[in-house]
């Protein structure tokens, strides 16, 4: 029998598009705890079940679970895919770009340390295993079909004779690629997202962006439910304190935060700022109102 063709041979190589483009993120990745929020290596699996959704994320001891900073590579990939599709260019799961292009997109420096951190991120994205029922049709008799994948099936670096990188080639998971190709499953991020330095801060912005949208009345979450959705290894008391500090800082681009005490429970409330409003336009009154219940 003929040998099966390797995956790389079945895909058309897509060269990353040049120039600036809006950051795009997959809504599934924004709504569920797919990533570690810690900068230290996390090997404790992420397990989440709610509303008929199941999710397990595991990493290997050598690299740990992919982090929310590693997800910048997936945001870059999603942005490339959407831009290519909008320009009438057929994207592919097999992509190639220079480290410089990826780092600059994510608003990072381009020194040797950043380059090594990018390669470590690619290792974590490849070695992290996800098992989920999201976007999987139900089986007969109420059973769930599960999809198992890694964010990147494989990646390799092209190196010049002088030792400098000539590009990074990677193959994205089909589950991720198909979700991005569905325009209804992608949202645009504020470029200021890349300036957010904390893991919980980044996670919260993505969650707020996914659920809050442009609803004038805003949205709210029970803090204990947020703790569950984050899959953070912090104790609830420390997690709640962290959120209160974020409310004091009002650092999420495009959104105003407040904490309310209702029925004996703490709720995080958020709403989008008026169109065109800048960070500096958030009034002192608004900030005082947001922290009056802290």
- In this structure, the number of other CB atoms found within 10 A of the CB of residue 114 comes to 15
As a whole number of Å, the CA-based R_g of the chain is 20
List, for residues 101-123, the tens digit of each pLDDT value: 999 999 999 999 999 999 999 99
Q: Provide, rounded to the nearest whole percent, the portion of the chain with pLDDT above 90.
A: 73
| Distance in angstroms (rounded) separating the CA atoms of residues 269 and 257 | 6
238 vs 52, higher pLDDT: 238
Q: Is 167 left (phi over 0), alpha (psi -120 to 50) or beta?
A: left
Question: For the domain 198-291, what is the CATH code?
Answer: 1.10.10
Q: What pTM was estimated for this model as a whole? A: 0.88
Confidence of residue 294 (pLDDT cuts 50, 70, 90): very low
Tell me what pLDDT residue 107 has. 96
180: helix, strand or coil: helix
Residue recorded with tokens 């008799």:
141
Q: Provide, rounded to the nearest whole percent, the portion of the chain with pLDDT above 70.
A: 86
pLDDT at residue 284 tops 60: no
Tokens linked to 13: 């190589």
288 vs 122, higher pLDDT: 122
Domain ranges of the chain: 7-188, 198-291
| Distance in angstroms (rounded) separating the CA atoms of residues 177 and 279 | 34
pLDDT at residue 283 tops 80: no
127 vs 218, higher pLDDT: 127
pLDDT at residue 285 tops 60: no
Tell me what pLDDT residue 142 has. 53
E-state strands within the chain:
14-15, 24-26, 46-50, 53-58, 94-97, 129-132, 147-149, 152-159, 165-172, 186-188, 219-222, 255-262, 265-272
User: Whole-number mean pLDDT of the chain?
Assistant: 88
Tell me what pLDDT residue 60 has. 97
């Amino acid at each position: 029998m003929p040998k099966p063709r390797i995956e790389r041979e079945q895909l058309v190589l897509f060269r990353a598009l040049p120039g600036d483009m809006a950051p795009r993120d997959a809504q599934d990745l924004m709504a569920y705890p797919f990533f570690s929020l810690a900068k230290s290596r996390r090997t404790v699996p992420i397990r989440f079940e709610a509303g008929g959704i199941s999710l397990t994320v595991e990493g290997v001891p050598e690299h740990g679970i992919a982090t929310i900073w590693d997800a910048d590579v997936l945001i870059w990939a999603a942005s490339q895919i959407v831009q290519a599709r909008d320009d009438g260019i057929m994207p592919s799961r097999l992509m190639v770009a220079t480290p410089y292009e990826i780092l600059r997109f994510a608003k990072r420096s381009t020194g040797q340390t950043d380059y090594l951190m990018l390669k470590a991120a690619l290792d974590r994205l490849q070695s992290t295993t996800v098992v989920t029922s999201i976007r999987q049709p139900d089986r007969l008799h109420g059973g769930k079909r599960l999809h198992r994948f890694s964010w990147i099936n494989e990646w390799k670096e092209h190196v010049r004779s002088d030792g400098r990188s000539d590009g990074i080639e990677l193959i994205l998971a089909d589950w991720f690629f198909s979700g991005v190709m569905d325009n209804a499953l992608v949202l645009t991020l504020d470029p200021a997202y890349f300036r957010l330095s904390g893991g919980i801060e980044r996670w919260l912005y993505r969650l707020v962006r996914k659920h809050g949208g442009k609803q004038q009345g805003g949205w709210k979450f029970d803090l204990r439910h947020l703790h569950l959705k984050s899959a953070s290894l912090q104790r609830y008391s420390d997690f709640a304190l962290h959120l209160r500090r974020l409310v004091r800082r009002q650092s999420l681009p495009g959104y105003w935060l407040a904490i309310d005490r209702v029925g004996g429970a703490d709720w995080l409330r958020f709403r989008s700022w008026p169109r065109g409003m800048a960070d500096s336009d958030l009034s002192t009154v608004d900030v005082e109102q947001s922290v009056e219940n802290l």
